[in-house]
Amino acid sequence: MPRDIPIGNGRMLVTFDGRYQLRDIYFPYVGAENHSPGDVCRTGLWVDGAFAWLSDDEWRRTINYAPETLVTSVELQHDGLEVAVSCRDTVDRDRDLMIRRIAVKNLADRTREIRIFFHYDLHIEGNGIGDTFAYRPDVQAVVAYKRRRYFLMNGQVGEGQNCTVGIASWATGIKELHGAEGTWRDAEDGLLGRNSIAQGSVDGTIALHAPGIESQSEALFFHWLALGKTWQDVAALDDLVRLRGPESLLSRTENYWHLWVNKEPADFADLDESLGGLYKRSLLIIQTQVDERGAIVAANDSDILRQARDTYSYVWPRDGALVACAFIQAGYNIPAARFFEFCAHAVTDDGYLLHKYNPGGSLASSWHPWLDPLGRPQLPIQEDETALVVYALWEHYRRFRDVDFLRALYRRLIVNPANFMVTYRDPHTGLPSPSWDLWEERHGITAFTTGTVWAGLEAAGRFARLFGDELLCRKYETAAREIKEAALQHLWSPAANRFSRMINVGEDGAIVRDDTIESSVFGLWYFGMLPPDDALVTATVRTVRERLWVKTDIGGCARYDHDWYQRVTDDFDAVPGNPWFVCTLWLAQYDIAVARSRAELASARDLLAWARKHALPSGVLAEQADPFSGAPLSVSPLTWSHGTYCLAVREYVAKWNALGA
């Protein structure tokens, strides 16, 4: 199930799904560790003897964010319980603290007691071995812990001088053992067992009680979850909430994000309010997926575990570099700069970046082997990941002109990678040597990688000229020129009248061509190697648009012909692959690039509108959309989808303004 409303602060990330169930709690890194890896943490209401979890089917829900901020805005109504519920949730901007404000309106014609229950199914450090849940009477709260991870769960009824701080009741107990489902079952009669401690595979539930709520009046509940590495950490956060009041902390965070997303003057040309709103929402959602120490994480949706036994909670340098470009174009220096510092620590001494990395910077899981099918050594890399980091770093310098920052990275993140790209070349063609493609499915010399390596070398040449390294400048420029010439000679397929997505070269120099229609040939023009209106590019994009457009009511562009990943039909004539947000937005970026009048931008505007139409109501963009229903497929949100949307909007506005000048 998609993560409809993620909230976070660069160290702590919490996600809710479309049923308003809390699904993931990441700490101390965004993306690691997940202390509730997809397991449901429930919220329930008891009203005068009747009970319902907020995830039950009987609720009518609106799941969204408050405008231009990372505070949720969730509305629920239950006719059977005769209540309306308004919720606001956030993670404090500066502290590892989730605050929830839940107002329950009594719609009945009589005074009633209302109780709210917060259940936590934690697997601390990602597993349910050796956890402890305990009630602490000194703070009137439940604390869960294991080793250096502490969770304090507390709450308050009302606000101001008449509020009641501390939980009214609690339950701790066994789960996932001997048939025990967990303490959430204990809540359904409105009473908790008040067992004071449990250890092993355990969970906990807390309750807040609000008696005497008159007809058409509200019961106001606050709940906070404090995270830390010691008891002292979470106790101090609990003291802070008591001192400052949860409402003030929530409002402070709401104001911060509103200020953050509006730091640059808003100019959306002729784009309507919904498209401009999705741009701002995308920036905010991207921020939830970025660790404050530099990791730009691909996606944090643990439901993918059910299919792959792994997640997207990693840093792919390619995705990160392109999202960093979105930050750069939007005027955000610091998150992009931290990403480059992350890459400078990750890059090998030989100048290349490997497949993917954990949020803390260590090497992540991979399926790319160090041997080819014949048992010969090969580098398990996607070379576009190395090249795009250098390309993005030039974009950062071009926007911010931070010479001191650049100087610190020059040798490790520019010269070493550029020297690697110069030498990592196929001896027969002069193209980049074979590596894994950007989809991580096939090994060879791909059009996308070729375009990015050219761009990386061009950027390195400009950097070298800035620093007065003329020999290096000529070296990089010469290699880039040779790669461009080789691409025109070897990647163009006269028989297909378009660029091949990939070639492989035998030991005798014979070329084996893969002419599968592929959207990522985008890389040949987008990064500058060929002009977008070049006749060869135009012919290629025309075929991509005709063949890869999904021929259902949903539409959208597939990755490539006969794409198998997450497919829902074998009718490849109508559905060559599921529509991807990134690939559809690539067509928008192409239409922007070739537009010669404002009228010609209409097709790009329609593609931006396609992305908005198939976003969740909260603005979250998935990796893919179902070709028949439009429902999100695979992980959601996908940071790359949001980054591409932001780039497309910036390019649209720049072109609109240029064409009007």
pLDDT at 304 > cutoff 90? no
For residues 592 and 651, the answer to whether their CB atoms sit within 8 Å is: yes
Cis peptide upstream of residue 82 (ω within 30 degrees of 0): no
pLDDT of residue 648: 98
Q: What is the pLDDT of residues 116-146, one digit of tens each?
A: 999 999 999 999 999 999 999 999 999 999 9
**In the chain, domain spans:** 3-233+250-261, 266-292+549-661, 313-531
Q: Can 3-233+250-261 and 313-531 be said to share one CATH topology?
A: no
Q: What is the pLDDT of residues 551-592, one digit of tens each?
A: 999 999 999 999 999 999 999 999 999 999 999 999 999 999
pLDDT of residue 207: 98
H or E segment at 144? strand 141-146
DSSP state of 322: H
Assigned token pair, 640: 């790359």
**Average pLDDT score over residue span 91-96:** 98
Nearest CA to 54 out of 102, 2, 6, 108 is that of: 102
CB atoms within 10 A of CB 262: 11
Q: What is the pLDDT of residues 306-323, one digit of tens each?
A: 666 789 999 999 999 999
Q: What is the pLDDT of residues 201-241, one digit of tens each?
A: 999 999 999 999 999 999 999 999 999 999 999 999 999 99
Q: Is the dihedral of CA 388, 389, 394, 397 positive or negative?
A: positive
pLDDT of residue 335: 98
Residues of the chain with pLDDT > 70, as a percent, come to 99
What is the C-alpha to C-alpha distance for residues 555 and 573, in angstroms, rounded to an integer?
13
- The CATH code that applies to domain 313-531 is 1.50.10.10
For residues 29 and 360, the answer to whether their CB atoms sit within 8 Å is: yes
CATH of 3-233+250-261 among 3.20.20.70, 3.40.50.300, 1.25.60.10, 2.70.98.10: 2.70.98.10
pLDDT at 20 > cutoff 80? yes
pLDDT at 490 > cutoff 70? yes
What is the C-alpha to C-alpha distance for residues 625 and 511, in angstroms, rounded to an integer?
36
Q: What is the pLDDT of residues 442-478, one digit of tens each?
A: 999 999 999 999 999 999 999 999 999 999 999 999 9
pLDDT of residue 537: 98
pLDDT of residue 521: 98
